[in-house]
Structure 1
Amino acid sequence: MNNAIVVENLRKEFKAYSSRSGLAGAFRDLFTRNYKIVPAVNDISFTVKKGEMVGYIGENGAGKSTTIKMLTGILTPTSGAVEVNGMNPHKEREKFVNTIGVVFGQRSQLWWDIAVQESFRLLKKVYKVSDEQYDEHMSHVIETLEIGPLLDKPVRKLSLGQRMRCELAAALIHNPPLLFLDEPTIGLDVLVKLKIRQFLKEINEKFNTTILLTTHDLSDIEALCDRVVMLDEGQIIYDGALNQLKQSWGDKKEVEFQFLEQIDEEELVFLTQNLEAVWDIDRRLHKYIATVDANDQKISELIASVVSRFKIKDIKIQETSTEEIIRNIYEKGFV
């Protein structure tokens, strides 16, 4: 079997309390309450192959964490089928948890008041990892994540970045073939993020570890994942290559000009009006940015028009960022 995750028509509904308005409504709520059924995940289907690194993205409330909780067996689906590592996460719970690792950025699996290495020892017992397996695997993990000096410190004395590196190591004690990461780099500085990204790439290459990554930091997705699954209001609106998403939606480029001398802004706009360039002018920083269609001919004409009239100090051409693309999709709708 080549699939690590198989999801078919997965649905999760919650019963939400709906209060009535006004004093009379509040009085009625004391005796009878109104409820409505809210679908957090709405009949989604997708598969993840073994060894894939997939970004699972969406706005707050889109259903990402609910999906992860169903895939890890924390929540039971309302309907639909889930198979992870060839098992049903809810019916084969004890056997199943030995095949996955989970890191929730806002929740800890380490014991707050004891040393990190004691938490590791407890988890080693829970997962029934032998001393030999532990030493062989974890020595590499500890060295790569640079957490050796942290092992004898209580978790409560660690910084956020230090704790997240230890959380990741804890999830890998039993070297699981599948890793779920829910906001693993939230609040971390750039250097720590780079270390974690590099480490995830390494374990994916070395052990063929499958990784499902949920994050709001799209630079994590760009650095790690070739494929993205995008969720909106509990439904999948895109499932495919990140590059294809950029090609389909990254239809604009920004051309930034810096001039050697003061220029006539009205003349600049007039020169390029037939190219439908939209100008963003920052007089304080002397930056003039034209947004145009990602068309080589148009960009060449834009640069030629400006260079023929004004003295140029520097020119930069930038593609539309993934973050901008995702924002456009949610604002305009996926078409």
Structure 2
Amino acid sequence: MISRRRVISILAGAAALPMLGSAASASVVNWRGIALGANANIVLDHPNAELLLDKALLEIARLEKVFSLYQANSQLSVLNREGELKVPAVELIDLLNISDRIYQETDGAFDPTVQPIWALYAQKYAAGSVPNQSEIDAVRAKIGWSNLSVSPEMISFNKPGMALTFNGIAQGYIADKVAGLLRQEGVDNVLVNTGEISAIGFSPSGAPWPISLANGGRKLELTNAAIATSAPTGTFFDLDGTVGHILDPRTGLPSGQWQSLSVIDKSAARADGLSTAFCLMNKAQIQAVSGAHEVMFGAPTSV
């Protein structure tokens, strides 16, 4: 099955930790694994790093049971399958509120109800065919942020066949939650990379966390900030590599005005959602979105 997980163009400088020396490494844990289907990395500098890492991994696992599209019993999967979810997790309500703000700010370029159209493309290309316009139009009728009802007691769809995906924002949200958990535990310095990065404090060398953008090789230094990158052609539906995985919820078509685009913000969730939407927007539209974020543009693309 084709995965909607994008190829992340961010490589944490923490990969060079062995070069930091024995003095720094005594209290440093550098964990690598998988979270929400993406490569993940936590670099934790603390005397109780091993114990705190266990807590962080339990938090990732807990949140995957809320947001995963691939765990049949996750809250998101139940909602998509049944059309409603009673007593949703607080985190699910929280992420829907964050998503709503980004939806409004980007005039619908970011819309988690895009999942049915993505599923159509995945199924068609996996079967060796291409979705035609009538099929796309039929599925587009199931998309619409206004057709989602949300309360602390229940989330429900107002149209049959609707479905949500948080693959354009959940990685950043989980990075925020894990970083927040560790800060509550007294951690001042940690890098959390769950596909998007939250960099708290400083690296074990005492300098800001070094980040390299794989596309273009730009070097950054982050402290108490987050970064997310989206690339329309980071993953393809077709074997020829011509149909990118970011679909415009407003048209139902593959799109993308930038080969890659990165956003820096205090919140990894916000950086994640904005980077997803900004791929579908021109520079003037992007610059019209207010906030403290910083945008790093890749080359324009004709996708």
TM-score normalised over the length of structure 2: 0.27
Larger radius of gyration: 1
The structure that is strand-richer by fraction is 1
